[in-house]
Chain A
Amino acid sequence: MAHGSSGGTPFKNPVVRWVDSRLPIFSMMVKEYGQFPAPRNFNYFWNFGALAMIVLMVMIVTGLFLSMHYTAHVDYAFNSVERIMRDVNFGWLMRYIHANGASMFFVVVFIHIFRGLYYGSYKKPRELLWIFGVIILLLMMATAFMGYVLPWGQMSFWGATVITNLFSAIPLVGDEIVTWLWGGFSVDNPTLNRFFSLHFLLPFVIVGVVFLHVAALHITGSNNPKGIEPKGPQDTLPFHPYYTIKDMFGSGVFMIIFAMFVFFAPNYLGHADNYIPANPLVTPAHIVPEWYFLPFYAMLRAITFNIGIPFTGVTIIEAKLGGVITMFGSIIVLFFISWLDTSPVRSARYRPIYKWCMWLLVLAVVVLGYCGSQPAEGLLVVVAQICTFYYFLHFLVLMPLLGKLERPLPLPRSISEPVLREPGAGPLPAGATAKPMEKS
């Protein structure tokens, strides 16, 4: 490790030395982003944390500049957004980056979550790290929802109306809560104002939780595709330059895809209805949320039946409340999977049955996304119900059961063992992988 710094400051620059001896931020950067030992077997799924960080920064910067031109008032909001598109220098670019950036953020984060689920990154000792991640997901959803309301188009208005009305399903105080959320008796100017205020605030809250997420990561260290802990320096690489380079390559590929949307299909992921100014008297024929909410929207609509005591006609949970509980429950259940999963093996690579359950879960979520995009009628309701059922079955039943029933494949003795072994060279001498490896 070239930057080794035990005692005293390792820096040559006198200003850096002066600062570092009073507030060791440079030492910290070297320790956490230079030397930080990361498992040597990362695959490209391990790019997505860094990618999420990049998109978060892009969103905050573009959002800051957009807010300089936006007017949060029902009479001016739509027109101020059109002015950004037509008159403000590069306004179209900032807005298209910001609007598509939200979609890119969710693509990246969904893959990041898949990575965590597939390779068991939520398991001991990374439970808290995972919980911070789920909190970030919830904050992102709230932020994205409120941001979509700001252009004050038809989808903005009616999306806000439908989603805020979800809270009216809460027993007893539901209507009061909705009135409080609105600051009136319908989605109106007070609602738009507070959504703008919160849309500005929440990204900084996200930054705070991301800091905790990364801090927790640097205590436990990263998981890896094998899901076994590094046994020594031979199993890790310093973060810089090995993973800084890999993350830069990944971000280059990512930005090409991002730019394709921004420059060639900027409205592909949006809805044409949102270019119609909001009208409280006319509901669009088909209200759909943004694509990243579709699986959850499908779960909301999948509960079409009241839940009660059988044969008595007593209703305990109305269909509407059931849908709301199901939708929020689909995220809340993620908080608990560190304890629901009873298998000591992290990576699905070594779990022959769980691996397929995991891909079934992906399929269920994708199908739910399709169901959410279509009108809720006919066969699609049943399909959405089956997929919702599997979603909860996966976390609440299969995770606890498979840990006990499944017979995992044998785990490698260490991360470096299969790397150091030459193809066809036969078994390694005992103990070879336990020794620190010399780098050439």
Chain B
Amino acid sequence: MADTTDSDGHTGTRRDFLYLATAATAGVGVLAFAWPLVDSMNPAADTLALATTNVDLTGVEAGQAITVMWRGKPVFVRHRTQGEITAAESADLSTLIDPEPDEARVINPDWLVVIGICTHLGCVPLGQRTTDERGEYGGYFCPCHGSVYDTSGRIRGGPAPRNLDVPEYSFTSETSIRIG
């Protein structure tokens, strides 16, 4: 920098330095001012505060399912039948699009808890009612672009890239769970 010479023939060290320092200070200032504006578009405190939901599971018989809202999204809670559990556990992992064993996706094998949003483009898949179209694997079927999920909520066919997400949840008693 010391040997840079401008068109008038004198080295511009001090001026260049002031110029760069001013520009850098202004740049940092602009970024510091922009960040609060950008961050204001992230979820607000009250939105985050609504982040847990308690669900009572009494009265949901095997084969039945309920849908609850959590963070504005539907969560599928399904009381699986013995046949559905067997099908989920016996699936050959090497044939899966997003390989994941069933035991990694459930806490209690009787209950499947997944976010009811197709991982393709966010539609709500069918399959919570026994009368719904459930796809080839008896789990869920997304009517938007034809993704097929099995009884563990794993993607088995169609454009979706991932298994249905499992929310963070815990059993607060034998018959109730807290999501989030």
Complex interface residues of chain B between 135 and 169 (CB less than 8 A to chain A):
142-146, 159-161
CB within 8 A of A281: which of B47, B74, B120, B121?
A: B74
Are B121 and A179 in contact, with the CB atoms below 8 A?
A: no
Given contacts A161-B121, A376-B145, contact A186 B159 (CB under 8 A): no
Q: Per-residue CB proximity of B61-105 to A under 8 Å, as 1/0?
A: 000000101011110000000000000000000000000000000
Q: Is B43 an interface residue (CB 8 A)?
A: yes
Are A281 and B123 in contact, with the CB atoms below 8 A?
A: no
CA distance A301 to B144 in the complex (A): 11
Are A280 and B74 in contact, with the CB atoms below 8 A?
A: yes
Q: Interface with B: A9-17, A144-152, A282-290, A397-405, which one? A: A282-290
A-B interface contact total, Cβ < 8 Å: 80
CB within 8 A of B41: which of A180, A281, A283?
A: A180
Q: Is B124 an interface residue (CB 8 A)?
A: yes
In the complex, the chain A residue whose C-beta lies closest to that of B40 is A183
Are B124 and A281 in contact, with the CB atoms below 8 A?
A: yes
CB within 8 A of B146: which of A183, A190, A377?
A: A377
Given contacts A185-B71, A319-B159, contact A165 B122 (CB under 8 A): yes
Tell me the minimal C-beta distance from B140 to chain A in angstroms.
Answer: 12
In the complex, the chain B residue whose C-beta lies closest to that of A279 is B124
Please indicate the chain A residues that have their CB under 8 angstroms from the CB of B69 in the complex.
Answer: 280-281
Q: Is B44 an interface residue (CB 8 A)?
A: yes
Are B73 and A162 in contact, with the CB atoms below 8 A?
A: no
Are A183 and B122 in contact, with the CB atoms below 8 A?
A: no
CA distance A287 to B44 in the complex (A): 30
Q: Is B173 an interface residue (CB 8 A)?
A: no
Please indicate the chain B residues that have their CB under 8 angstroms from the CB of A240 in the complex.
Answer: none
Are B123 and A185 in contact, with the CB atoms below 8 A?
A: no
Are A186 and B143 in contact, with the CB atoms below 8 A?
A: no
CA distance A249 to B146 in the complex (A): 49
Q: Is A32 an interface residue (CB 8 A)?
A: no
Given contacts A180-B42, A283-B144, contact A186 B123 (CB under 8 A): no
Given contacts A183-B42, A186-B72, contact A162 B123 (CB under 8 A): yes
CB within 8 A of A184: which of B71, B121, B143?
A: B71
CA distance A282 to B132 in the complex (A): 13
Are B44 and A190 in contact, with the CB atoms below 8 A?
A: yes
CA distance A17 to B121 in the complex (A): 61
Using a Cβ–Cβ cut-off of 8 Å, how many residues does chain A contribute to the interface with B? 32
Are A184 and B43 in contact, with the CB atoms below 8 A?
A: yes
Are B121 and A166 in contact, with the CB atoms below 8 A?
A: yes
Complex interface residues of chain A between 166 and 187 (CB less than 8 A to chain B):
166, 179-187
In the complex, the chain A residue whose C-beta lies closest to that of B38 is A180
Are B71 and A287 in contact, with the CB atoms below 8 A?
A: no
CB within 8 A of B123: which of A181, A183, A283, A320?
A: A283
Tell me the minimal C-beta distance from B156 to chain A in angstroms.
Answer: 15
Interface of B is mostly: loop
CA distance A282 to B142 in the complex (A): 11
In the complex, the chain B residue whose C-beta lies closest to that of A319 is B159
Are B72 and A285 in contact, with the CB atoms below 8 A?
A: no
CA distance A285 to B159 in the complex (A): 17
Are A186 and B73 in contact, with the CB atoms below 8 A?
A: yes
Please indicate the chain B residues that have their CB under 8 angstroms from the CB of A179 in the complex.
Answer: 42-43
CB within 8 A of A161: which of B42, B123, B145, B160?
A: B123
Are B121 and A185 in contact, with the CB atoms below 8 A?
A: no
Given contacts A280-B72, A287-B144, contact A165 B44 (CB under 8 A): no
Please indicate the chain A residues that have their CB under 8 angstroms from the CB of B159 in the complex.
Answer: 301, 304, 319-320
Please indicate the chain B residues that have their CB under 8 angstroms from the CB of A161 in the complex.
Answer: 121-123
Q: Is A188 an interface residue (CB 8 A)?
A: yes
CA distance A301 to B121 in the complex (A): 11
Please indicate the chain B residues that have their CB under 8 angstroms from the CB of A158 in the complex.
Answer: 123
Tell me the minimal C-beta distance from B136 to chain A in angstroms.
Answer: 15
Q: Per-residue CB proximity of A231-245 to B under 8 Å, as 1/0?
A: 000000000000000
Given contacts A280-B72, A281-B124, contact A319 B43 (CB under 8 A): no
Q: Is A73 an interface residue (CB 8 A)?
A: no
CA distance A301 to B143 in the complex (A): 14
Given contacts A281-B74, A287-B144, A320-B120, contact A184 B41 (CB under 8 A): no
Given contacts A184-B47, A185-B71, A319-B159, contact A285 B121 (CB under 8 A): no
CA distance A333 to B38 in the complex (A): 29
In the complex, the chain A residue whose C-beta lies closest to that of B146 is A377
CA distance A185 to B74 in the complex (A): 11
Are A282 and B161 in contact, with the CB atoms below 8 A?
A: no
Q: Per-residue CB proximity of B11-45 to A under 8 Å, as 1/0?
A: 00000000000000000000000000010011110
Please indicate the chain A residues that have their CB under 8 angstroms from the CB of B51 in the complex.
Answer: 185
Tell me the minimal C-beta distance from B126 to chain A in angstroms.
Answer: 8
Please indicate the chain A residues that have their CB under 8 angstroms from the CB of B44 in the complex.
Answer: 183, 190
CA distance A279 to B72 in the complex (A): 11
Please indicate the chain A residues that have their CB under 8 angstroms from the CB of B145 in the complex.
Answer: 301, 376
Please indicate the chain B residues that have their CB under 8 angstroms from the CB of A301 in the complex.
Answer: 145, 159
Q: Is A318 an interface residue (CB 8 A)?
A: yes
Are B124 and A162 in contact, with the CB atoms below 8 A?
A: no
| Beyond A180-B42, A183-B42, A286-B144, 19 additional pairs, beta carbon < 8 A | A158-B123, A162-B121, A162-B123, A164-B122, A179-B42, A179-B43, A182-B43, A185-B51, A185-B71, A188-B47, A280-B72, A281-B74, A283-B142, A283-B143, A285-B143, A287-B144, A304-B159, A320-B120, A377-B146
Can you name 10 A-B residue pairings with CB atoms under 8 Å? A161-B123, A179-B42, A183-B42, A185-B43, A185-B71, A186-B72, A190-B41, A280-B73, A280-B74, A286-B143
